[in-house]
Amino acid sequence: MVGGTEDEILFLKQEFDIMNNVVFIPRRPYREIPFYLKSADVLVLPNERGDVISEKYTSPLKMFEYMASKTNIIASDLRSIKEVLNFNNSIFFEPGNASDLNRKIDYLLESKNQFSYLVENAYNEVKNYDQCGIYYSPAKQARINKKRVRSVRRKKITDLTKKPMTGFLVCVDTVVRYVNGQKRYILTAIDRYSKLSFARMYTTHSSKNAADFLHRLHYLLDGKIENIQTDNGSEFKKCFDQALTRLEIPHYHSRVKTPKDNAVNERFNRTLNKVLPMYPSSTEIVARK
C-alpha cells in the first residue's frame, strides 16, 4: 500500500488487524508513482454505486494512469467508468461486491497470459486522451530530464557581465557556404571588444573540428581568452567542451532563436560572405579592425 501519513497507516494496521504480508510505503513524489503502478500485477478501480456524480459522470484520473502503465485493470462496472474502459481493455466486477472482485482477481492472475491483449489495447487507447501529454511517459520524461540537466549545466550569455577588454569575450559561430560547388563549414570567431576576427574552413561539421579551431584561436590570441560564447549547435559540444575544460575557459551560450545575443559574429559572417569569393583557395582568414 502506497501513500498516507504515519497516523493513517497506524490506524489501518490497528483497525483491520492487517497481516505482516502487507507492505506500507509512505507518501512518495508523484514522479515515482508510475513505477509502483508498473510493479503491480493488477490495478483495481473499486468505485461504488450510490454517488450519482461518481457513478454516472466521473472519469478518475488514476484510470488513465492505469491504462498508461501497461498493467492489467479490473474496474467497477459503472457507466462513468465504461465511457473509457471496455471489455477490450479491462475486466469488470460488480460494484461493492468483494467476492466478485476476489474471483476476478484470481481469474486474471491464473490466466494472465491470455489477457495480454487487454494491456496493449488500454495503452493504445489512452493515447487518444493524452493530446496534451499530461500522463506519464518514461521515454518522454527521460528526454525532459536530459534537457533539464543540460540547461542547468549551460551558462547563458545574459548571465555574463561584459568588460571592455580584449580577450574577455570571444564569440564563435559556424556558417555553411558552397565553395566551387562543394559544401564547406566555416568556423568564425570575433573578439567582442577589439573585433579581431578569425575564420577557418572545414569539410565536415563536427565537435572535433570545432576543438581544432579553438586551439588555433587560442594560439592566435596568445592564450588570452577569458570567455567563449557559442550557440547551441552540436559542434560546440563533446570535443569542443573538453578542449575548453583543458584550457580552463568558461563556455557561455546564446539563447535559442536570439541572434542579437551574438550580433557581432552575425555581422562578421555577412562580411565574410562578401570577402570569401576574393580568396577562393584560402582555408584561413584573419582580420583586424
Place of cell 466521473: 58
Q: For residue 36, which amino acid is it?
A: Y
Min mean pLDDT across 29-38, 181-190, 195-204 is at: 29-38
> What is the DSSP-derived secondary structure letter of residue 276?
G
Exposed/middle/buried for 166, CB within 10 Å: 0-12, 13-18, 19+?
Answer: middle
Average pLDDT, the chain: 86
* pLDDT score for 138: 63
Q: CA–CA separation, 83 vs 59, rounded Å?
A: 8
Query: Grid coordinates standing for 289?
Result: 579592425
pLDDT over 80 at 134, yes or no: no
pLDDT over 80 at 42, yes or no: yes
3-state secondary structure of 49: coil
* pLDDT score for 157: 93
Tally of CB atoms within 10 A around 178: 8
Domain 155-287 has CATH 3.30.420.10: yes
Phi, then psi, of 149 in degrees rounded to 5? -65, -45
Element (H, E) at 287: strand 284-287
Segment 193-212, tens digit of pLDDT: 999 999 999 999 999 999 99
> What is the DSSP-derived secondary structure letter of residue 79?
H
Sign of CA dihedral 68, 69, 72, 78: negative
* pLDDT score for 127: 79
Exposed/middle/buried for 81, CB within 10 Å: 0-12, 13-18, 19+?
Answer: buried
Helix (DSSP H) and strand (DSSP E) numbers for the chain: 11, 10
Q: For the range 108-116, what are the long-range contacts, defined as Cβ-Cβ under 8 Å and sequence gap of 24 or more?
A: 108/42, 108/72, 108/74, 109/41, 109/42, 112/41, 112/72, 115/72, 115/91
Residue pair 243/211 in contact by the 8 Å Cβ criterion: yes
Element (H, E) at 244: helix 239-247
Q: Which of 213, 132, 134, 142 is nearest to 171 (CA)?
A: 213
pLDDT over 60 at 220, yes or no: yes
Q: CA–CA separation, 207 vs 166, rounded Å?
A: 26
Domain ranges of the chain: 40-150, 155-287
23's CB contacts (< 8 A; 6+ apart) are 1
Q: What is the CATH number of domain 40-150?
A: 3.40.50.2000
pLDDT over 80 at 40, yes or no: yes
Mean pLDDT, rounded, for 111-123: 87
Q: CA–CA separation, 67 vs 62, rounded Å?
A: 9
Q: Which of 271, 258, 204 is nearest to 229 (CA)?
A: 258
Phi, then psi, of 173 in degrees rounded to 5? -150, 170
pLDDT over 60 at 132, yes or no: no
224's CB contacts (< 8 A; 6+ apart) are 166, 167
- Share above pLDDT 70 across residues of the chain, in percent, rounded to a whole number: 85
Query: Grid coordinates standing for 54?
Result: 461518481
